[in-house]
Amino acid sequence: MDNVAIVVEDLDATIAFFTELGMEMEGRGQNEGPWVDGTVGLEGIRSEIAMMRVPDGPGRLELTKYHAPAAIAAEPTNPPPNTVGLHRVMFAVDDIDDTIARLRRHGAELLGEVAQYESMFRLCYLRGPSGIIVALAQQIG
């Protein structure tokens, strides 16, 4: 797998959110023209992307802000985690409480609570910019 793409409303806010999680900017640029239209299957695309990478692995997120045609909001606006075709991106963290506190400064909200799975993990789901669901896992055992 090369990357996972996520359409966002506020590219700068989403970059800040994933930077807070430890991802690094690999590149940022504009996409438009016939090759983009043909690849994506839409006409008149003008978008800005930011490629974020995991510093210690091959994982990357492509964050995309559509300027034209305008992005279409999901219904409902903040769909629950069990929505077909939607789930989450999970990150391993060293300190889940500290990470939650830092992400809250970027607008993140817990969907439930921090739960413990046996004596191995503390886990939670958060909703971040553009309704993106992010899971955090802290190994404890």
Please report, for the chain, the start and end positions of each structural domain, with discontinuous segments joined by +.
Answer: 4-68, 89-139
Residue 65 in tokens: 């802000």
- 1 or 32, which is more confident? 32
- Mean pLDDT on 33-60: 93
CB atoms within 10 A of CB 27: 10
Query: What length does the chain have?
Result: 141
Top CATH class, 4-68: alpha beta
Phi, psi of 129 (to 5 degrees): -55, 145
The span from the CA of 27 to the CA of 6, in Å, is: 15
| pLDDT, tens digit (0-9, with 9 covering 90-100), for 58-103 | 889 999 999 999 998 888 888 888 888 877 899 999 999 999 999 9
Q: At what angle do helices 96-104 and 11-20 cross, to 10 degrees?
A: 160
**Fold identical between 4-68 and 89-139?**
yes
* pLDDT for 141: 77
Answer yes or no: is pLDDT of 122 > 80.
yes
**Domain 89-139: which topology?**
2,3-Dihydroxybiphenyl 1,2-Dioxygenase; domain 1 (3.10.180)
